[in-house]
């Protein structure tokens, strides 16, 4: 059966940089996006955000703030978007989940095409999380 648990989508921020990852599942080899995962039974949304970030990148997070949501028809779920504050910077990726993860400045995000990487689709919650963070400078 396909998963119907809520998905957490999170933009992790440390100072003036945000953490983006390149998933094994991304169709474009140059796309970087927010981290994401599913809420496990018995887990709060904040716990799910912290766990998923730690599992995928080794980064510990503190404060987690809800941002917005987006219905997602595949597989009939909802995506819940968050901003999370990183407590650590060192990245240790889980190669089963990510090919790469990096910290990016607002300037690097603004000039992503010239720097040779792509962001998620404009209609995605991941893109909204990133653009809202860039605009909050």
pLDDT in tens, 37-77: 999 999 999 999 999 999 999 999 999 999 999 987 666 67
pLDDT tens string 103-118? 999 999 999 999 999 9
Full DSSP string of 50-90 = HHHHHHHH---EEEEEEEEEEEETTTTEEEEEEEEEES---
Give the CA count within 13 Å in the CB-facing half-sphere of 29. Answer: 0
What pLDDT, on a 0 to 100 scale, did the predictor assign at position 78?
Answer: 85
Q: What is the mean pLDDT of residues 11-22?
A: 97
Q: pLDDT of 75-95, one tens digit each?
A: 667 899 999 999 999 999 999
Dihedral angle sign, alpha carbons of residues 95, 33, 71, 41: positive
Q: What is the pLDDT of residue 72?
A: 73
């Amino acid at each position: 059966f396909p998963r119907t648990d809520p998905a957490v989508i999170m933009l992790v921020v440390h100072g003036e940089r945000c953490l983006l990852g390149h998933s094994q599942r991304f169709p474009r080899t140059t796309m970087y996006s927010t981290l994401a995962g599913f809420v496990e039974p018995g887990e709060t949304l904040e716990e799910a955000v912290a766990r998923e970030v730690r599992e995928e990148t080794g980064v510990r997070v503190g404060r987690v703030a809800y941002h917005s949501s987006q219905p997602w028809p595949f597989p009939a779920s909802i995506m819940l978007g968050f901003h999370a504050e990183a407590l650590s910077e060192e990245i240790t990726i889980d190669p089963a989940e990510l090919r790469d993860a990096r910290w990016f400045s607002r300037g690097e995000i603004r000039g992503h095409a010239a720097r040779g990487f792509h962001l998620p689709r404009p209609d995605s919650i991941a893109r909204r999380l990133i653009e809202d963070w860039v605009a909050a400078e």
